[in-house]
Amino acid sequence: MGEIFVLVEHRQGVLRDISCEMLWKANELCTGLSHTLTAVLLGGKDEPFVNEIAERADKVLVVEDDRLEAFNADLYKGILSSLIQEHKPFITLMPQSPWGMDLAPSLSVKTGFPLATDCVDILVEDGKPKAVRQIYNGKIFSKVALRDADCYLMTVRASAFPPDAVEGRAGEVVKLDVPADLPEPRREFVKFEDAGAGAVDITQADLLVSVGRGVGEADNIEPLKELAEKMGGLLSCSRPVVDKHWLPKYHQVGTSGKSVKPKVYLAFGISGAFQHVAGITGAGTVIAVNKDKKAPIFRVANYGIVDDMFNVVEALKEQLS
């Protein structure tokens, strides 16, 4: 019987959603392959979410050290490579996040095992893993084979899988010592800076009116701001709007912005790149308005309107008046 590793991501004492998503997928793979699901937690003393992880895995390997309370790729690489060499897991899953993008390539070089990044699904065919990835801005899915190896490394895109709990797992928590030969890291954690903090907190809104590149120019944002106010919601946006300095960073939704969970999310002129879609996975109802009927946003929308966004904005404002 083999084993699948899942590297747990956490921040400031909070378990990140991507960890639960990877554990869900690992559970599916382990069930089909009769493998052991092993979560790997590198953190500070007595992290509060250990039991939550144990309910989703067969085993939790915990390495505690004050230096691991905050992510450090140098330390993670040294510890994880040692565990991989010892256990020889079939697959090691890591998040496609700043953590994973920093750690995974160097871990692949150190271990010599092949790496597939930004996976939206993972399949096993004829005993070998295949990575499903998106290309051409999400318009096409590609299935990627890796060279034969004893172990495989993969990073998983946020929101590719549900964060749901699984049944039938009651993991044993095994605490391990930091390897004695672990070299001192070349970098040092200083502090967290929330670059997205600002005058409004879009993560707490029940309704968001979100604007994308399709708005055309900065002056066109005002009608959407008025609509958001009339509806009792907040204004948010996609990354291109922030990049053009039309709205401040704290309005941005997506992987480089905020993850939001409104009851209703109105997307105006947003194409639906995966970076943005990852930020709205917790939304209750998604309503998309776009002139392009092939826009990727319609794949995740509960309701879609193919029309000029300003026609829809004015119609809604008229009804609200």
Q: Compute the radius of gyration of the chain from its Cα atoms.
A: 22
Whole-number pLDDT of residue 259: 85
Q: CB 25: neighbour CB atoms within 10 A? A: 21
CA distance 118 to 90: 18
Residue 85 structure tokens? 């060499």
β-sheet with 121-125: strand ranges across: 121-125, 128-135, 140-145
CA distance 131 to 118: 9
Please give the chain's pLDDT, 321 residues, in tens.
Answer: 799 999 999 998 999 989 999 999 999 999 999 999 999 999 999 899 999 999 999 999 999 999 999 999 999 999 999 999 999 999 999 999 889 999 999 999 999 999 999 999 999 999 999 999 988 766 788 999 999 999 999 999 887 888 888 888 889 999 999 988 888 888 888 887 766 567 788 988 999 999 999 999 999 999 999 999 999 999 999 999 999 999 999 999 987 788 898 999 999 999 998 889 888 988 999 999 999 999 999 999 999 999 999 999 999 999 998
pTM for the predicted model, two decimal places:
0.80
Residue 83 structure tokens? 């565990």
CATH topology of domain 202-320: Rossmann fold (3.40.50)
Tell me whether the CATH fold assigned to 3-176 matches the one assigned to 202-320: yes
62: Cβ contacts below 8 Å, ≥ 6 apart:
41, 43, 47, 50, 173, 174, 175, 176
Residue where the block lists tokens 């007595």: 46
DSSP of 170-195: -PEEEEEPPPTTPPPPS--------T
DSSP of 95-149: ESSHHHHHHHHHHHHHH---EEEEESEEEEETTEEEEEEEETTTTEEEEEE----
Residue positions counted in the chain: 321
216: Cβ contacts below 8 Å, ≥ 6 apart:
269
Domain ranges of the chain: 3-176, 202-320
Q: CB 307: neighbour CB atoms within 10 A? A: 12
- What CATH class has 3-176? alpha beta
In DSSP terms, 5 is beta-bridged to 38, 92
Whole-number pLDDT of residue 255: 79
Whole-number pLDDT of residue 262: 94
